[in-house]
Amino acid sequence: LRDSCKCPICVDPHSKQRNFRTSDIPNEIQPRNIEFDGKEIIVQWNNDIPGYDASHTSRYDINTLIVPVKSTTKLIAASRPRRTWDREWMNKSQFWISYDDYMNNEVQFATAMRNLCDTGLIFVKDIPDSREEVKKLATRMGPLRNTFYGPTWDVRSIPKATNVAYTNQFLGFHMDLMYMREPPGYQLLHCLENSCDGGESMFSDGFHAAKTIYKMGTDLFDVLTDVQLCYEYNHEGAIYHNRWPVIETTTMRHPTEFPPIRHVNYSPPFQGPIHSRHVGRNYHEFKKFRKALKIFSELLERGENTFELKLEPGQCVIFENRRVVHARRQFNTAVGQRWLAGAYVDEDCLWSRFRRSIRDYPEAW
C-alpha cells in the first residue's frame, strides 16, 4: 500500500516519475492512522521512509485500489488478440476502415485498433496515391521500426534479389525477420500498383492453428513449445541468427486449460539447419516434433483456414507479424507491375496504443 502512494512528494506531478525506491520502504512500516472520507482512504504512517516526516499523508481513491485488479484482464486482453479465425469467419467479418477515418476519427481509429488486437489483421482503403503514405499509416500507431531494409521499404520484383519477396515467385507462408532477437510486432503493406496477373495475398491465423493442434493432443502442442528452430540471414551486408519455438505461451499456464499464446514463430524460407544440440531430445522425441510441425504447417495451409485477396492500389493491410502468417502467389511481370510499400511497428508500441484506446475511447472496445 505504501508503495502505491502517488502524493506530490512521492511522485513528481510533472514527470510522473517516482521519488523513492521500493527498497527504501522500511520493513517495520505500519499505518498510524486510517480514515475514509467517503471518497478516499487516508493513511498516515509510522516508520515511514527516511526523510518523510509525520505529516506525510497517502490518499487512495477507492477505485485505485480496485481498478488494478479489475483492469489487469482488460489490459492483457488489449495486448493479446482475443479471437481466432478461419477463412469463413474472415470472409464474413474482415475489418476495413477508410483512410480518412483511420487518420482523423479517433473513435473509428480506436475501433480499428480493437479489431487489430482481436484478430491480428485489418485493412485500410481509399489511401492517397503516394509512397509516403505507409509512413503516415504506421506512425499513427507508433514509431517506425528501422531495420537493415530501412524505416520503410518496397516489395517489387528486382534482378538478383537477396530475398524471395523481391522476386515474382510464389512466396509461402512465413513471418518476417524471425532471425532477429526482437522481430517486428506488426507489419503494413500499402499497395501502390498491382496490375499484373497473380500476386494475390494470403493470410492464415497462427493462433487458430495452435488452438487446433492443442485440441488434437497436448503432446503435439507441448513439443512445439519446447523445441526451437533456427532462423538465419547471411548476406554480404548483414548476418543475423536466432532461435525460437514454434509456439510461445505466457508464463502463467493452467495445467488443464488451453494456455494463452504469446507468439507464433514460423518462417520456413529463413529457417537454418536444425542442429542436434538445439533439439535437446532423443530421436524418438525429434520424430514427434517433426510430426507436430508437419501438422501445424498443414493447418496453416488448409484452404478452410486461408484468407486470400488481391490488394488494389489505395489499400493497405496491417497484420500482427508474430501471429498471422502471410504468403503471396506468383505473378507475371510481362504484363503490368506489382508494387507494395512496407513498414514495421514494434509490438510494445501497439500494446501502448491498445491500452490508450481502451482508456480514452472505451465505447470503441
Residue 81 pLDDT: 52
Q: Read off φ and ψ for residue 175, nearest 5 degrees.
A: -125, 155
Task: Give the separation between CA 364 and CA 142, rounded to whole angstroms.
Answer: 19
Q: Read off φ and ψ for residue 70, nearest 5 degrees.
A: -75, -30
Task: Give the separation between CA 146 and CA 165, rounded to whole angstroms.
Answer: 18
Residue in the structure block whose three cell numbers are 518523510: 52
Residue 273 pLDDT: 84
Angle between helices 62-79 and 347-360 (to 10 degrees): 130
Residues contacting 231, CB < 8 A, separation 6+: 178, 179, 240, 241, 242, 243, 244, 265, 267, 270, 271, 272
Enter the CATH code of domain 80-364. 3.60.130.10
| CATH 3.30.2020.30 domain position(s) in the chain | 2-70
C-alpha cell at 208: 487458430
Q: Which positions of the chain have pLDDT values less than 70?
A: 66-81, 159-164, 251-257, 276-281
Residue 73 pLDDT: 43
Q: Read off φ and ψ for residue 72, nearest 5 degrees.
A: -55, -50
Task: Give the separation between CA 74 and CA 44, rounded to whole angstroms.
Answer: 32
Residue 72 pLDDT: 47
Residue 23 pLDDT: 94
Residue 60, classed as helix, strand or coil, is strand
- The DSSP string of 184-211 is -SEEEEEEEEE-SEE--EEEEEHHHHHH
Task: Give the separation between CA 10 and CA 21, rounded to whole angstroms.
Answer: 10
Residue of 208, 173, 166, 90 lying closest to 331 (CA atoms): 166
Residue 302 pLDDT: 98
Burial group, residue 230, by CB count within 10 angstroms (0-12, 13-18, 19+): middle
C-alpha cell at 252: 502463467
Residue 164 pLDDT: 67
Residue 255 pLDDT: 60
CATH 3.30.1330.40 fits 2-70, yes or no: no
The residues with which 234 forms a beta bridge, in sequence order, are: 239
| CATH 3.60.130.10 domain position(s) in the chain | 80-364
Q: How far separated are the first and last CA of the chain, in Å rounded?
A: 31
Angle between helices 218-226 and 283-301 (to 10 degrees): 100
